[in-house]
Amino acid sequence: MTSIGTPVPFDSHAAQPSLVRAFRANLLSLIGLVLFLAVMLVAAAAPLLTAYDPFVQDVTHKLASPSAAHLFGTDEYGRDIWARMIYGARLSLLIGLASTVVAIVVGSLIGIVAGRYGGRLDAFAMQVMDVLLAFPSLILGMIVVAMLGPSLANIILAIALTSVPAFARIARAPTIALKGRDFIEACRSLGLSTPRILVRHVLPNIFAEILVMGSLWLANAIRTEASLAFIGLGLRPPTPTWGGMIREGFDNILDSAWLAVVPGTAVLIVIFSLNLIGDGLRDAVDPKLKGGE
Partner 1 sequence: MLAYLVRRTMLAVVTGLAVLTLVFCIVRILPGKPSHVILGDFASQAAIEALDKRLGLDRPIWAQYVEFIHKSAMGDWGVSMVTDRPVIDEILRVLPWTLELTIVALAIGVVLGVPLGVWAALRRNGAADYAIRVASLLGLSFPAFVSAVLLLLLFAIQWSWFPVISARTGSLTAWVQSLTLPAINLGLINAAYITRVTRSAMLEVLHEDYVRTARAKGVPWGAVVWRHALGNAMIPIVTVVGLFLGILIGNSVLTEIVFNRPGLGKLIVGALNQRDYTMLQALMVTYTLLVVVVNVLTDLVYGLVDPRVKLQ
Our CB check for partner 1 shows the closer of 55 and 135 to be: 135
Our CB check for partner 1 shows the closer of 198 and 267 to be: 267
9 vs 174: CA distance, rounded Å: 8
Dihedrals phi, psi of 80, to nearest 5 degrees: -70, 125
10 vs 287: CA distance, rounded Å: 9
- Least CB distance from residue 84 to partner 1, whole Å? 17
- Binding track over 92-131 against partner 1, x by CB under 8 A: -----------------------------------x--xx
211 vs 165: CA distance, rounded Å: 16
What is the CB neighbour count within 10 angstroms for residue 238?
Answer: 13
- Binding track over 55-94 against partner 1, x by CB under 8 A: ----------------------------------------
Q: Report the site for partner 1 in 245-284 (rule: CB under 8 A).
A: 246, 250, 253-254, 257, 260-261, 264, 267-268, 271-272, 275-276, 279
Residue 134 as a binder of partner 1 (CB under 8 A): the answer is yes
Residue 232 as a binder of partner 1 (CB under 8 A): the answer is yes
Q: How far is CA 216 from CA 17, 32, 104, 105, 275, in A?
A: 20, 12, 12, 16, 6
Long-range Cβ contacts of 119-126 (<8 Å, 24+ apart): 122/172, 125/168, 126/168, 126/169, 126/172
Our CB check for partner 1 shows the closer of 102 and 276 to be: 276
Identify the CA nearest to 99 among candidates 67, 66, 137, 135.
Answer: 137
Pick from 34, 56, 59, 289: which binds partner 1 (CB under 8 A)? 289
Torsion angle, alpha carbons of 177, 181, 183, 184, to 10: 60
Residues in binding contact with partner 1, number by CB under 8 A: 46
Q: Report the site for partner 1 in 138-177 (rule: CB under 8 A).
A: 138-139, 142-144, 146-149
Residue 78 DSSP label: -
Which stretches of the chain bind partner 1, using CB under 8 A? Answer: 28, 127, 130-139, 142-144, 146-149, 219, 223, 226-227, 230-233, 246, 250, 253-254, 257, 260-261, 264, 267-268, 271-272, 275-276, 279, 288-289, 291-292
